[in-house]
A and B are shown apart, each in its own frame.
Chain A
């Protein structure tokens, strides 16, 4: 394994791990605040307990997100010192603003989690709102920095160094809007639909369970609108990528040869050597229509990209298709939920939608990972699109396979612990807060070691 590959793998694992918790850090506070708001407005017994459970879940996920995010802020330098030396003055702004947003989130989360009996109900709810807002804002700033790597602007290159730096222009880069919109909606979709799927599972097992039905409703309040809007934002993103990053777009669509009447392909195995795509289902001219508005619209293919500037096509194409498929599934499920809601039926009474929600529980998170692979692997071999190569940015420190293995083991361990904790202590914790709703099935669950 080369050091470059080890560094890329370590970055991928660190980001892939952190992104789950970052997404939860954006989505969970929203659910938590809605649950608390409904709890304050109604005396219904079913609404009791959910705010506390959501808060516990948020606390665990946020803590792991905070520490894994700290690791990333160092890893930018530990793995890519030349990149940071180059880009730090240009994109330091969004990172420093993110620092403050994250600070605000941490402060108000501390107040929210530990302040139940210390501050008034209104102040407590307001603290929750601060957590939700600053969480979303901090995510937006980080994604702006990433968008700059895809659409670098706000500097000129003279003798290989950036000069005439304009950090405001860098902040307002071309990809910033579409990417932050897409990622923020992704965070709400992935987090809320995962939570909805979990509660849908319990509602299926125990249709009379008012607690899980209420929790399902809260998750869907966030998840359904986000899932319905996400494909639209995806379309905006794809248009931008097609225009600004033709190599990434060609890899996403496995579009090898520049041509008109380009079909929209579903599936298929691309062969980068021969420029063929085999076993794909094609919808004639559909991609041309989508991207140019005309059936005979010309779309740049991989053949226009110099060979040493091509990203790995198979990985990007597969990840893109996976993301689109999972996102479309969630959109359809969300549409079904909305359909029944408009007809006055709660999905808790529609078994097939419940089942679809359960199946879709992990889809949002998987789609987030896949989307991240698309944008990062799709930009290769560049770390700053068209400007700085990843290979030129990597640290000269040798033996990077050692930290790669170390951090992988650490993150696998943490991932397993978090899953076990969420399952054991929150999702089916037989705590006092649930008295009155603990139903037949929940009681029948044998006590686990440790309870």
Chain B
């Protein structure tokens, strides 16, 4: 695998996607746990989630925009193919993105009355649950190789069936459980010692099991549902090594949770997510849209790629210290500052 400019930018895009899933995904997962808040500490659970997400969700969300910008600048053909093939699920996902963000903010600044808070809470939590499924469906549809494949037929054949497959739907479910798992693990670290922390520990364990089941189901469906990626995931010693180590990290994360090593579990969860995404990316290589567009074929002219690398480098120099400062200021939630 020669390190060409298009490949570097594809790699940067996967890095940004990983950061989006780790940070933005956990914010969505927080919404899932808001929806599923239950038991005697229902209100404390929701308050903790709101405190942790409050200062950072908008910044975390920008990773998605960076992914889109890299995609249309560096791989315009891929952007165009995805925007056409996934028009319907992407539009639906955007509705979820809009409702999630605005409902969360409205809840924070609207009246404190229970009924009002609940109304925004339901929209925030509902959108936080539906949006990851749609995002996962889009990712699954890309991996399956169905995008750009159907160029004839009626509306359903071209714009619905390519993403309404078992493989894509299960990828949607996997994404949801992944986000919920990440959020629960992060919340165990943020929660104060005691019962509230135990609540999220139980949720993290439950989501971890659901995630493992979804991953197994996906593995099972991939042989027919996403043949190119399946081959990439199973053929060759590197692929097997990635698979095995992902499984081992997942297991270690689970054990850390069982043994209440929360900080360790958080690190392992992040590693696990990164390995899942990078495993997918490696399996899909050299395609950006499997079996219709390779990374090289979709790439913009060299001058654009070179300038984009410079722009991204300059941006990173500004971004990293700013992000570090943000997370340092709000270590342990924002409750003290309100």
Interface, chain A (partner B; CB < 8 A): 56, 59-60, 62-64, 66-71, 73-78, 81-82, 84-86, 88-90, 92-93, 95-100, 102-104, 106-111, 113-119, 163, 165-168, 395-399, 403, 406-407, 410, 414, 417, 421, 424-426, 450-451
Residues of A within 8 A of B70 (CB): 96
Residues of A within 8 A of B81 (CB): 81
Q: Is the CB of B59 within 8 A of A450?
A: no
Which of B74, B76, B77, B97 is close to A67, meaning CB atoms less than 8 Å apart?
B97
Q: What distance in Å separates the Cβ of B194 from its nearest Cβ neighbour in chain A?
A: 24
Q: Is the CB of B336 within 8 A of A396?
A: no
Stretch in B181-189, B197-205, B264-272, B321-329 touching the partner: B321-329
Q: What distance in Å separates the Cβ of A411 from its nearest Cβ neighbour in chain B?
A: 9
Q: Is the CB of A89 within 8 A of B73?
A: yes
Q: Is the CB of B98 within 8 A of A398?
A: no
Given the known interface contacts A110-B56, A115-B337, the answer about A74 and B68 at a Cβ–Cβ threshold of 8 Å is: yes
Q: Is the CB of B326 within 8 A of A403?
A: no
Residues of B within 8 A of A62 (CB): 58
Judge whether B105 is part of the interface by a CB distance below 8 angstroms.
yes
> What 6 additional pairs, Cβ within 8 angstroms, besides A73-B65, A74-B83, A410-B98?
A70-B61, A71-B97, A78-B91, A89-B300, A96-B311, A114-B330
Name which residue of chain B comes closest to A71, CB basis: B94
Which of B108, B110, B319 is close to A103, meaning CB atoms less than 8 Å apart?
B319
Residues of A within 8 A of B155 (CB): 398-399
Judge whether B38 is part of the interface by a CB distance below 8 angstroms.
no
Q: What distance in Å separates the Cβ of A72 from its nearest Cβ neighbour in chain B?
A: 10
Which of B84, B300, B334, B337 is close to A396, meaning CB atoms less than 8 Å apart?
B84
Stretch in B40-48, B166-174, B215-223, B301-309 touching the partner: B301-309
Q: What distance in Å separates the Cβ of A349 from its nearest Cβ neighbour in chain B?
A: 34
Q: What distance in Å separates the Cβ of B88 from its nearest Cβ neighbour in chain A?
A: 8
Main DSSP-derived SS at the A contact region: helix
Q: Is the CB of A102 within 8 A of B65?
A: yes
User: Which range contains the number of B residues in contact with the other chain?
Assistant: 35 or more
Q: What distance in Å separates the Cβ of B319 from its nearest Cβ neighbour in chain A?
A: 6
Which of B59, B68, B95, B326 is close to A406, meaning CB atoms less than 8 Å apart?
B95
Which 8 residue pairs across A and B have the least CB separation, nearest first?
A92-B73, A77-B83, A89-B300, A100-B315, A88-B76, A63-B105, A450-B111, A81-B80
Name which residue of chain A comes closest to B57, CB basis: A110
Judge whether B338 is part of the interface by a CB distance below 8 angstroms.
yes
Name which residue of chain A comes closest to B104, CB basis: A63
Q: What distance in Å separates the Cβ of B24 from its nearest Cβ neighbour in chain A?
A: 11
- For window 145-176 of chain B, which residues contact chain A by CB distance below 8 Å? 155, 159
- In the assembly, what is the distance between CA of A60 and CA of B106, in Å? 7
Q: Is the CB of A64 within 8 A of B105?
A: yes
Name which residue of chain A comes closest to B86, CB basis: A78
- In the assembly, what is the distance between CA of A266 and CA of B55, in Å? 50
Judge whether B282 is part of the interface by a CB distance below 8 angstroms.
no
Q: Is the CB of A167 within 8 A of B303?
A: yes
Q: Is the CB of B80 within 8 A of A84?
A: yes
Which of A63, A108, A397 is close to B102, meaning CB atoms less than 8 Å apart?
A63
- In the assembly, what is the distance between CA of A264 and CA of B337, in Å? 57
Q: What distance in Å separates the Cβ of B113 from its nearest Cβ neighbour in chain A?
A: 6
Q: What distance in Å separates the Cβ of A86 from its nearest Cβ neighbour in chain B?
A: 8
Residues of B within 8 A of A106 (CB): 58-59, 61-62
Q: Is the CB of A84 within 8 A of B83?
A: yes
Total contacts A-B at CB 8 Å = 216
Q: Is the CB of B304 within 8 A of A92?
A: yes
Interface, chain B (partner A; CB < 8 A): 54-56, 58-59, 61-62, 64-66, 68-70, 72-74, 76-77, 79-84, 87, 90-91, 94-95, 97-102, 104-106, 108-111, 113, 116, 155, 159, 300-301, 303-304, 307-308, 311-312, 314-315, 318-319, 322-323, 325-326, 329-330, 334, 336-338
Residues of A within 8 A of B101 (CB): 63-64, 66-67
Name which residue of chain B comes closest to A73, CB basis: B68
Q: What distance in Å separates the Cβ of A30 from its nearest Cβ neighbour in chain B?
A: 19
Q: Is the CB of A113 within 8 A of B91?
A: no
Q: What distance in Å separates the Cβ of A66 from its nearest Cβ neighbour in chain B?
A: 5
Q: Is the CB of B111 within 8 A of A77?
A: no
Q: Is the CB of A166 within 8 A of B303?
A: yes
A-B contact pairs, 20 of them (CB 8 A): A64-B102, A66-B58, A67-B97, A70-B61, A70-B98, A71-B94, A73-B68, A77-B82, A96-B66, A99-B315, A104-B318, A107-B323, A110-B326, A113-B55, A114-B330, A114-B337, A398-B155, A414-B98, A421-B110, A450-B116
Which of B54, B116, B303, B315 is close to A114, meaning CB atoms less than 8 Å apart?
B54
Which of A59, A96, A119 is close to B73, meaning CB atoms less than 8 Å apart?
A96
Name which residue of chain B comes closest to A399, CB basis: B155
Q: What distance in Å separates the Cβ of A395 from its nearest Cβ neighbour in chain B?
A: 6
Q: Is the CB of B326 within 8 A of A167?
A: no
Q: Is the CB of B98 within 8 A of A77?
A: no
Residues of B within 8 A of A107 (CB): 59, 319, 322-323, 325-326
Given the known interface contacts A78-B83, A103-B315, A168-B307, the answer about A118 and B68 at a Cβ–Cβ threshold of 8 Å is: no
Residues of B within 8 A of A77 (CB): 68, 72, 79-80, 82-83
Residues of A within 8 A of B74 (CB): 89, 92
Q: Is the CB of A99 within 8 A of B91?
A: no
Which of B59, B76, B95, B100 is close to A85, meaning CB atoms less than 8 Å apart?
B76
- In the assembly, what is the distance between CA of A165 and CA of B307, in Å? 11
Q: What distance in Å separates the Cβ of B77 from its nearest Cβ neighbour in chain A?
A: 6
- In the assembly, what is the distance between CA of A99 and CA of B74, in Å? 15
Residues of B within 8 A of A71 (CB): 94, 97-98
Residues of B within 8 A of A95 (CB): 69, 72-73
- In the assembly, what is the distance between CA of A75 and CA of B91, in Å? 8
Given the known interface contacts A71-B97, A89-B304, A95-B72, the answer about A424 and B111 at a Cβ–Cβ threshold of 8 Å is: yes
Q: What distance in Å separates the Cβ of B324 from its nearest Cβ neighbour in chain A?
A: 10
Q: What distance in Å separates the Cβ of A359 from its nearest Cβ neighbour in chain B?
A: 28
Given the known interface contacts A63-B101, A85-B79, A111-B325, the answer about A99 and B62 at a Cβ–Cβ threshold of 8 Å is: yes
Q: What distance in Å separates the Cβ of B139 from its nearest Cβ neighbour in chain A?
A: 15
Q: Is the CB of B308 within 8 A of A397?
A: no
Residues of A within 8 A of B79 (CB): 77, 81, 84-85, 88
Residues of B within 8 A of A396 (CB): 84
- In the assembly, what is the distance between CA of A183 and CA of B102, in Å? 26
- In the assembly, what is the distance between CA of A115 and CA of B328, in Å? 11
Q: Is the CB of A114 within 8 A of B90?
A: no
- In the assembly, what is the distance between CA of A96 and CA of B310, in Å? 11
Residues of A within 8 A of B77 (CB): 85
Q: Is the CB of B329 within 8 A of A119?
A: yes
Name which residue of chain A comes closest to B303, CB basis: A165
Q: Is the CB of A165 within 8 A of B301?
A: yes
Q: Is the CB of A93 within 8 A of B307?
A: yes
Q: What distance in Å separates the Cβ of A371 from its nearest Cβ neighbour in chain B?
A: 25
